[in-house]
Amino acid sequence: MIINNLDEMKKFANILASLLKETDVINLIGEMGAGKTTLTAFIGEYFSIKDTSSPTFAIVNIYDGKIRIYHLDLYRLEDPDEILDIDYEKYFYPDDGITIIEWAENAEYYLPDQMINIEIRKIDENKREILIREDSKRGCEINEHFSNWHFYNDFNCNYCKRWWNYWWF
């Protein structure tokens, strides 16, 4: 799906967040500046979390709102075994919240099999393409919800505008 601006990214994040449940692990895939941390912040807002930031130097940030979010940024890991220095099982297999991981490929051998893999491709300064991969059961379930709403193929379709007006306003 194509996201044209921050308002659309926030709407996408709200729908995505409404579909999430405790124990979900989201892997955000994308180059630096693609919008991974921005998407995480919007998901946090949905759950009444006001202060999110990139955990690049801390590796893990924990946010408490209507649901607990574990936000990991593994960019600085130089060896997958460095993940052993933190309580990674708590984050990769959460039972009391949702985990969102950036740069998960840096800990590839330790990752859970059933992650929701979301790829964000930067098209230009404001426009992004988002792909929810169907390589896990949860990824398939979430894609099904978006396609049922005719949202996946055209974010700005008239059906979506009517649905948004009914649902959010």
Q: What is the pLDDT of residue 149?
A: 59
Neighbours of 74 (CB within 10 A): 24
Tokens (6 digits) for 89: 């099982």
Q: What is the Cα–Cα distance from 103 to 77, expressed in whole angstroms? A: 9
Q: What is the pLDDT of residue 91?
A: 95
Q: Could you list the mean pLDDT of each consecutive 10-residue stretch along the chain, which spans 169 residues?
A: 93 95 97 94 95 77 95 93 92 96 94 95 94 92 77 45 41
Q: What is the pLDDT of residue 56?
A: 67
Instruction: Provide the whole-model pTM.
Output: 0.85
Q: What is the pLDDT of residue 157?
A: 47
